[in-house]
Amino acid sequence: MALFDTLFDKRKSKGIHPPYYKIASHKNIEKAPLPKEATLPLSQHIGAPAKALVKRGDKVKTGQKIAEAGGFVSVPIHATISGKVKGIIQVVSSVTSRVGDAIVIESDGMDEWVELDKPENPEDLSKEDILSRIKEAGIVGLGGATFPTHVKLQPPPDKKIDTIIVNGCECEPYITSDHRLMLEHGDDILKGLGIMMRVIGCSRAYVAIEDNKPDAVETMRNLLAKAGLPGQVTVESLDTIYPLGAEKTLLKRILGREVPVAGLPFEVGVVVQNVSTLKAIHDAIYEGKPLIERVLTVSGLVKEPKNLIARFGTPAKELIEFCGGVPPEADEMIFGGPMMGISQTSLDIPTQKGTNSILVKKSDMKPEGNCIRCGACIEACPMNLVPTMFVAYVKNKMYEELGDYWIENCVECGACAYDCPANIPIVQYIKVGKAELMKLKKGAKK
């Protein structure tokens, strides 16, 4: 009956309740030490990689543009420390596991900044100025998607945006960086929202926060009362359920609107923006600061879990050491959370724009069993999909049929795999299936 109800009530959230382990939620944001060497991949975002503007031996200052956007759907990269360019090397991406170019800067220990282009009257900037500054600051979606923000803020002219949703849900276990950001920089987040409302021309917004963060709900409500934002803005306290923070599930929960298969929120009149991205927009517009650092959580088996503001390009091991190191039984490091994060192969991997967390844990891989057709995966899926069919079709290489079951609507949240008693790594099958289906579609177009 519960499944039937959730399938037909558009605002009811399906999902799971994993243990949240928000063990760093009470820790104030601390500044991480500057890295001795920063490794900055040219592709830290969705879209074309940035193009290097520096070469080996060049001296750079903190905040200096060192790579320009490689196209409209692309953003520049800035030096995150001052020093000398050691070279351009090939690194494995912490997101895609593909090899790509990265600029390596050797620190001079000075952290000498470029002069920031801080506007005198940010409130008077035109829409075009704001968009150009957001692009030039290298801002991308910091909730993990890393989609260039200036593109997201320019939906097609025929799509009227009537609602902005500010995503402060942070539903992944362990991660507390957005929670702390709302508590410590909520006013900047709301200023960022004000800019976004102005650029999009939208007067209705929701700040969505799960109810396991009552202090953040209260803080944001108090700040909102004083912020004087034009239009109708409310802070929504939502039931805690994973994966409420996924854009499509959040939109469905708040507005009851469904994004079409393989579509984006603007198609139903909505733009969703994460709180960290709004803070970055604030910093770019009010302080002229490019995106060179972010708040991330280091948690799990580290001795002292922390929320750190860390420069991009810092090797993970330096941040883990700053958190007291790890016990010998720890054998896995993930960028992101335990549900959607990506296991890394080396502690030397540098953080980048999309790294909202470093999680150290003991690996819990279990042998894969056979599907017992229990339906737990179907009941868990927030997108009302049938994950067990994806597994069956991928195993049988029947990729075309995956489209009939709307595989492109899968947000890869892992709720299905979490509840699967047979320990089937369903998301891995889904990723393979999506890639194969895309190849087939591309082939059909040729």
User: Which residues are at the interface with ligand SF4 (CB under 6 A)?
Assistant: 371-377, 380-383, 385, 387-388, 391, 410-416, 419-422, 424, 426-427, 430
Angle of CA points 350, 351, 357, to nearest 5°: 135
State in angstroms the smallest separation of the CB of 15 from ligand SF4: 8
CA distances from 359 to 308, 320, 338, 416 (A): 13, 9, 8, 21
Least CB distance to ligand SF4 at residue 393 (A): 12
Nearest C-alpha neighbor of 43 from the set 65, 60, 72, 67: 67
What is the smallest separation between the CB atom of 246 and ligand SF4, expressed in angstroms? 8
Q: Of 200 and 339, which CB lies nearer to ligand SF4 in the complex structure?
A: 339
- What does the DSSP assignment read for 228-263? --SSEEEEEEE---BTTTSHHHHHHHHH---PPTT-
The nearest distance, CB 225 to ligand SF4, in angstroms, is: 36
Instruction: Rank residues 216 and 424 by Cβ distance to ligand SF4 and give the closer one.
Output: 424
Q: How far is the CB of 309 from ligand SF4 (least distance, A)?
A: 31
14 vs 294 by CB, closer to ligand SF4: 14
Asked if residue 208 lies in contact with residue 280, where contact means CB atoms within 8 angstroms, the answer is no
State in angstroms the smallest separation of the CB of 421 from ligand SF4: 6
**Contact predicate 252/10, CB 8 Å:** yes
Q: What span, in angstroms and rounded, lies between the C-alpha atoms of 31 and 29?
A: 7
Which residues neighbour 311 within 8 Å (Cβ) at sequence distance 6 or greater?
Answer: 32, 34, 35, 38, 80, 81, 292, 293
Q: Which is nearer to ligand SF4, 135 or 252 (CB)?
A: 252
**Which residue's CB is nearer to ligand SF4, number 183 or number 415?**
415
CB of 395 to ligand SF4, least distance (A): 11
**Separation of alpha carbons 211 and 215, rounded Å:** 9
For residue 201, what are the contacts with CB-CB under 8 A and spacing of at least 6? 161
Identity of the residue, 90 or 370, whose beta carbon is nearer to ligand SF4 in the bound complex: 370
Peptide bond into 157 cis (omega under 30): no
Cβ at position 169, least distance to ligand SF4 in Å: 15
Residue 328, amino acid: P
Query: With respect to ligand SF4, which residue has the nearer C-beta, 293 or 419?
Result: 419
The backbone torsions φ and ψ at residue 280, rounded to the nearest 5 degrees and listed phi first, read -65, -40
Decide whether 327 or 375 has the Cβ nearer to ligand SF4: 375
Alpha-carbon dihedral angle through residues 416, 421, 427, 429, given to the nearest 10 degrees: -130
CB of 334 to ligand SF4, least distance (A): 17
Neighbours of 420 (CB within 10 A): 23
Question: Tokens 């970055």 correspond to what residue?
Answer: 280
Considering beta carbons, is residue 116 or 372 the nearer one to ligand SF4?
372
Taking the CA of residue 105 as centre, how many other CA atoms within 13 Å lie in the half-sphere pointing to its CB? 34
